[in-house]
Amino acid sequence: MDFLTTSEAADYLRLGERKLYELVTTGAIPCSKVTGKWLFPRHELDLWVLSGLARPAGMLAAEPPLIVGGSQDDLLEWASRESGSGLASLNEGTARGLERLQRDEVIAAAVHFHSLDASDNLAGDANVAALRAATDLHDAVLVGLVRREQGIVLPAGNPKRLQSLSDVLALGARMAVRQQGAGAQMLLDVLLKRAGASLKDLRRLETPCLTGPDLAAAIRAGHADCGVATRSAARGAGLDFVPLVWENFDLAMRQRSYFRPAMQALVRFLGEQRLRQRAEELTGYDPSPAGQIRFAA
């Protein structure tokens, strides 16, 4: 991230340094104090300016509701409550969340896209690629939440001794799956493709599971032998887990939404020690990206 000094930030914003210090004192401008000096992240200054953009009457952009769409996540839901943000959740999967964001039906979307690159390896940053490709989101911002561990969720004790997706295919284990457009389902699709297989080669539970915890509940109830979800979902249901990948789990939103009070309450909370402690308790999380702006259009 590119940081500006006080004098550089004043020049960048075309403000006097005295005025800039007034904004810092009142907490009205994004900044950070490091070893006694104020630093200003350039990307966040751009967003701060855009958040106050005036529009002629009749051209006011409708504010989206305080709902985070997209993927379900226990840590995100906990942080939304603990931060006092007032944000609600609408868990329909990554792709559906991004679609709702483009229609301004949600203030943000929790996303974890998966795709293959030209060499059939997992794409390095599929979330950023998805935002770049979303032409209706020319003003998009991607805020880091965590990196999460995704893998195969299994009954306690792993009675079928499944250690990989190849074992699932070879033994004909019944697999619980997610709806199309869910990030975990994208991951399963690309891993099957790398293995030279497809969904039709799996013994699948007929009805897709809407969330990771729903999938874990189906396995715990004995309706399926396995499924792909997070380590946290497996732990919450008392199930076994075989790790597959670490993924980026981020919040996508429009620039004008970033500085709304509800979103700022959540973003500030992401930097607190309590979030890191909770991530460790839930297991399967790396909170180091929490609160970072990973992409801005």
Q: What is the pLDDT of residues 116-169, one digit of tens each?
A: 888 778 888 999 999 999 988 888 999 999 999 999 999 999 999 999 999 999
Using CA atoms, how far apart are residues 143 and 263, in angstroms rounded to an integer? 11
170 and 122 within one domain: no
The yes-or-no verdict on residue 60 having pLDDT over 50 is no
Residues 227-285 have pLDDT tens digits of 999 999 999 999 999 999 999 999 999 988 998 999 999 999 999 999 999 999 999 99
Q: What's the total number of domains in the chain?
A: 3
Q: Is residue 56 part of a domain?
A: no
259 and 124 within one domain: yes
Q: What is the pTM of this model?
A: 0.80
281 and 159 within one domain: no
278 and 139 within one domain: yes
Q: Is residue 57 part of a domain?
A: no
Give the model's pLDDT for residue 54.
Answer: 54
Q: Is residue 91 part of a domain?
A: yes
125 and 91 within one domain: yes
252 and 111 within one domain: yes
Give the model's pLDDT for residue 166.
Answer: 96
186 and 39 within one domain: no
Average pLDDT for residues 293-297, to the nearest whole number?
90
Query: Using CB atoms within 10 A of its CB, is residue 62 exposed (0-12), middle (13-18) or buried (19+)?
Result: exposed
CATH number at residue 10: 3.90.105
CA diameter of the chain: 71
Give the range of the structural domain holding residue 165, as residue numbers without chain letter: 150-246
Residues 77-111 have pLDDT tens digits of 999 999 999 999 999 999 999 999 999 999 999 99
Give the model's pLDDT for residue 62.
Answer: 66
21: pLDDT confidence band, cut at 50, 70 and 90? confident
Order the strands of the 32-34 sheet from edge to edge. Answer: 3-4, 37-41, 32-34
Using CA atoms, how far apart are residues 242 and 265, in angstroms rounded to an integer? 35
